[in-house]
Amino acid sequence: MITVSNVSLRYGDRKLFEDVNIKFTPGNCYGLIGANGAGKSTFLKILSGEIESQTGTVQLGPNERMAVLKQNHFEYEEQEVLKTVIMGHTRLYQVMQEKDAIYMKDPFTDEDGMKAAELEGEFAELNGWEAEPEAAILLKGLGIGEDLHYKKMAELTGSEKVKVLLAQALFGRPDVLLLDEPT
């Protein structure tokens, strides 16, 4: 569930939104329509927390996770396809990065060992051991074969990139899914 309360946004003299109040309830699909330049993508960025409104609040339900299918199909050009999908679960990916950095340290201290143990516990809670197989299943279901899973995003066609980004948004079964021009 997303609750939007008194959200306003201006760019200079231009008022995009003023005192927007809406509640998006679970189990429903919503569409945001309007003319080009009306602020649809900007509103989605406010919902996702990518940008802040000047007034008001956006609240996600307790313990809910949001994912976003973005318009920028070139954002992950240097990343491997499989890793790009896993990045869809931000906290899991952060834990993976932190763990890798700790294990690469030389010398490896007792403090590093304690931190690594904490991260390993969180990694397990986030189902991290199943991350790669789940990402691969999502990709396969969207028509992205295993031969592409370890290629860089830059090597994919435009339609393949969109499918990878859709897999990224779906990865980890988010509670809320925002799609910005999914076609």
pTM for the structure as a whole: 0.82
pLDDT digit string, tens, across residues 29-82: 999 888 988 888 899 999 999 999 999 999 998 989 999 887 788 899 999 999
The rounded distance, in Å, linking the Cα atoms of 99 and 92 is 11
Q: How far apart are the first and last CA of the chain?
A: 24
> Would you kindly state where each structural domain of the chain is located, as residue ranges?
2-64, 81-179
* pLDDT single digits (tens) 97-150: 999 999 999 999 999 999 999 999 999 999 999 999 999 999 999 999 999 999
Which pLDDT score is estimated for 156? 96
The CATH number of domain 2-64 is 1.20.1260.10: no
The residue written with tokens 């959200």 in the block is 7
- What are φ and ψ of residue 139, in 5° steps? -60, -45
DSSP sequence for 89-129? SHHHHHHHHHHHHHHT-SS--HHHHHHHHHHHHHHHHTTGG
